[in-house]
Amino acid sequence: MKNQKTALVTGANKGIGFEVVRQLARQSFRVFLGARNAKAGREAAEKLKSEGDVVFLEIDVSSEKSIRAAAEEFARQSERLDVLVNNAGILLDEDKSALTITPEIFETTLRTNTLGPSLVAQAFAPLLKKSNAPKIVNVSSSGGQLEDGADGWAPGYCVSKTALNGVTVQLAAALPKCAVNSVCPGWVRTAMGGENATRSVGEGAATIVWLATDAPQDLTGKFVKDRKVIPW
């Protein structure tokens, strides 16, 4: 369908990303399910076939080469991109203390969680500009909030999310016709969040999907939780 809206969700073979793909597919989007593991990505896309138009796209957001290849492959399959959800992220076990985190762990975390979304936005910007109302949603975390200080938990991850909020503001300035926002999904029961988390995957995905679909186009450059702008 020529007028069918398209979306790309990175890191979408499980967890929040998988649920976002499901919900967007149910809203008649053609959704590209991005994952770095091709086997896991294809299996995830196959599981969602009954929900709508879901296509697997191999993309490792920590690799500039992979991102460029993914953008080229996407362009072969679609003439534009309406929604980019930068969901892929990592939280490494070794990320314990600001005094002991190694350069390797810090750099690996920043490459995926901060630089990755920036490079994906750069690579897909030409396709987003072809949309009448393009949107970018960067999945951040309350761990990135500076307003109330920090509690010392996973400092590399938290700094990467603070920086992602900064990337969001810069992208909003660079793409004035695009609604670019970051979102805190809350503490969600996923492999990363753990089984004691307070929110279901559906609840975690809800505001991401809202920003991708029904949120006002002039809402941009903000950090959002439960459909409300929050400080960071």
- Residues marked as catalytic: 157
Of 115, 138, 131, 108, which Cα lies nearest the Cα of 20? 138
Phi, psi of 223 (to 5 degrees): -110, 125
Structure tokens at 169: 């503001």
Question: Do strands 53-58 and 6-9 pair parallel, antiparallel, or not at all (unpaired)?
Answer: unpaired
Specify burial of residue 10 (Cβ count, 10 A radius: 0-12, 13-18, 19+): buried
Other C-beta atoms closer than 10 Å to the C-beta of 217 total 12
Relative orientation angle of helices 15-26 and 201-213, to the nearest 10 degrees = 50
Give dist(CA 92, CA 156) in Å, integer. 9
Distance, CA of 114 to CA of 13 (rounded, Å)? 20
Taking the C-alpha atoms of residue 47 and residue 58, their distance in angstroms, rounded to an integer, is 16
